[in-house]
Amino acid sequence: DTAVSQTPKYLVTQMGNDKSIKCEQNLGHDTMYWYKQDSKKFLKIMFSYNNKELIINETVPNRFSPKSPDKAHLNLHINSLELGDSAVYFCASSATGGNSPLHFGNGTRLTVT
Amino acid sequence: SQKIEQNSEALNIQEGKTATLTCNYTNYSPAYLQWYRQDPGRGPVFLLLIRENEKEKRKERLKVTFDTTLKQSLFHITASQPADSATYLCAPDLEYTPLVFGKGTRLSVIA
């Protein structure tokens, strides 16, 4: 199936740990994104990346870093996890260019204890 | 700063009626506006895109309007069904910048 897939679906970890979430898309899209949805269901952009350009939301702590081994993957690394990092993280992709719809994965629920 | 407001956090409607959801934005002029549906435990799914020079866009039972003067988009679901129950998100699109979403309206269609 063509899709955006992210793993794991659930991630429970302790404060201070480092963790990664993987994302892969097989839609042939050039641009990938990470969004964070908090407990109030507000979906916030964290990063967008399209091979050459990384756009970072300035409010994202530098403990968060995206890594793209190739065009089809954009993984999210989080260092020194904090309680406030608990949220659902969504990966998405789109064709390059304005007004292209986003295709989302089904999210990774991160719980930091 | 840019602001997106969706009229209400939750909207309950009787099956068969038309649901109308509102999206207002301030401090920017999007060239497009996108609407998404999100079900619990799932990622948002794209529904419709409307351009600034289009007054109205339809897809099956869905209709979207875009008033750039009022800075508002209306999203209508006609003949609503319980299966339409979900959260609906609007995203005014500035083109070439990552989409920013409203907080969403949770629609419940009651049989």
Q: Which of A41, A92, A97 has the CB atom closest to B104's CB atom? A: A41
Structure tokens at B90: 């609007």
The predicted pLDDT at position A97 comes to: 67
Count of other CB atoms within 10 angstroms of residue B31: 15
Between A41-45, A98-102, B61-65, B68-72, the lowest mean confidence (pLDDT) is in A98-102
Average pLDDT over residues A20-38: 95
Q: Do A103 and B46 touch (CB under 8 A)?
A: yes
Tokens 């199936």 sit at which residue?
A1
- The 3-state DSSP composition of chain B as helix, strand, coil percent (nearest 5) reads 5, 55, 40
pLDDT in tens, B21-50: 999 998 888 889 999 999 999 999 999 999
pLDDT in tens, A76-96: 999 999 999 999 999 999 997
Q: State how far the Cα of B97 lies from the Cα of B32, in Å rounded to an integer.
A: 12
The predicted pLDDT at position A41 comes to: 82
Q: What residues in B contact A40, CB-CB < 8 Å?
A: 103
pLDDT band at B58 (very low <50, low <70, confident <90, very high): very high
| B14: closest CA of chain A, how far (Å) | 25
Report how many Cβ contacts below 8 Å link chain A to chain B: 54
- Eight-class DSSP state of A100: P
The predicted pLDDT at position B27 comes to: 87
Pairing of strands A19-25, A75-78: antiparallel
Given a contact cutoff of 8 angstroms between Cβ atoms, the answer to whether A107 and A6 are in contact is yes
Given a contact cutoff of 8 angstroms between Cβ atoms, the answer to whether B41 and A107 are in contact is yes
Q: Single out the residue of A28, A29, A46 nearest to residue A90, CA to CA.
A: A46
In percent, the amount of chain B with pLDDT more than 90 equals: 76
pLDDT band at A1 (very low <50, low <70, confident <90, very high): low
The predicted pLDDT at position A5 comes to: 97
Which residues of A fall below an 8 Å CB-CB distance to B?
Answer: 4, 33, 40-43, 45, 48, 55, 90, 92, 97-99, 101-107
Structure tokens at B105: 């309206």
**Which of B2, B6, B99 to mutate to probe the A interface, most A CBs <10 Å?**
B99
Tokens 């839609």 sit at which residue?
A27
Q: What residues in B contact A104, CB-CB < 8 Å?
A: 43-45
The predicted pLDDT at position B14 comes to: 97
Q: Which of B44, B87, B95 has the CB atom closest to A98's CB atom? A: B95
